[in-house]
A = this chain, B = another copy of it.
């Protein structure tokens, strides 16, 4: 249940792209240095992001990467789903919406399955509610770190 560095690096890279690159392509090396990530490694993370259309690439000199969609249309969940298979725990769940009496292998203990299902939903809800635009906003006027205020009800929606 630990989240890989793939995920963290990926999100940071995407944030970097949203925050610093305004339409202009940014070289991978720049991102890697700014975010303190191995550029060799980041290169491998950005490949699937490109294939998923989350970033566009410009080859050649002065090339680099740009966001594939506007920042408000890219959620953290989108990034995570690309970088680590299905976002959720446990893989046996039949695809959502298909609750037509379908059984997966261990449907016998659907009691515990409901736990993972609820967990998955909760995780997705959180991750999908945060977009790159939100992160940029947050970066500009941070509500953390400077006196936490322990604002417990902030993103209540």
The reply to whether B144 and A110 form a contact with Cβ atoms under 8 Å apart is: yes
- B residues less than 8 Å from A135 (CB atoms): 111-112, 115
Counting chain A residues whose Cβ lies within 8 A of the other chain, the interface size class is 35 or more
- The residue in chain B whose Cβ has the minimal distance to the Cβ of A145 is B110
Chain A interface (Cβ < 8 Å from any Cβ of B): 1-4, 7-8, 11-12, 15, 35-36, 76, 80, 84-85, 87-91, 99, 106-116, 118-119, 122-123, 125-127, 130, 135, 138-139, 142, 144-145, 148, 150, 155
- Measured CB to CB, the closest approach of chain B to A81, in angstroms, equals 10
Subset of 15 A-B contacts with CB under 8 Å = A1-B4, A1-B7, A2-B84, A2-B91, A8-B90, A11-B112, A11-B115, A12-B109, A15-B111, A99-B148, A111-B135, A112-B135, A118-B155, A119-B123, A122-B123
